[in-house]
Amino acid sequence: MRELRAKCQQSLVRAYVGVKKARRELRAGLSRNAAFSAPVIDAYVPREDYIEQMGVINDLQLELEVLILEGNALPDLFKAWSEIRKEISKMRDFLSSMITEYEEVSRKEGHIDHLYLKNLPKLADMLHGPKDEKYRERFTEPFHKALHNIQIERIDG
């Protein structure tokens, strides 16, 4: 049981850190014509950067999906599995909304070199806003809650 719990924790942390890295890469590539605290009207991300990092985010979203499926198959692995699953699902859903946006934008704007954040509201939610509220609320906080519950059971159980 301890090994499986450790594996779950590692998968969760790997997904969180991977998304954080992709976020930093995308933020670094943002046009310099818009500050992070300013409205996103004029900010854009190079298309190739977007495609590359969304591929990474897609893989990490799938890793969270696998974690949920594996946890569902072993519901006795964690006493607090329903709470852990709820938080991981929030993370997965946040990334899923970005993947859906990516798929839609790729069909519409496949030939454009730069993609404006005003046309990518889900990506904009991740990259900046008032204190990154949506990213924190829908990804960072659920991560910390799920991780806390996993760690408690790894220590206690």
| pLDDT tens figures, 43-55 | 888 889 999 999 9
Other CB atoms within 10 Å distance of the CB of residue 77: 19
Per-residue H/E/C for 59-108: HHHHHHHHHHHHHHHCCCCCCCHHHHHHHHHHHHHHHHHHHHHHHHHHHH
* Encoded amino acid at 29, one letter: G
Contact by Cβ (8 Å): 20, 139: no
Q: Which of 29-33, 61-65, 82-86, 131-135 has the lowest mean pLDDT?
A: 29-33
Contact by Cβ (8 Å): 95, 64: yes
Alpha-carbon span 142 to 92, nearest angstrom: 10
Alpha-carbon span 42 to 18, nearest angstrom: 27
Question: What are 41's two structure tokens?
Answer: 């009207």
Summarize the confidence of residues 68-95 as an average pLDDT. Answer: 95
| pLDDT tens figures, 53-79 | 999 999 999 999 999 999 999 988 999
Question: What are 93's two structure tokens?
Answer: 């859903």
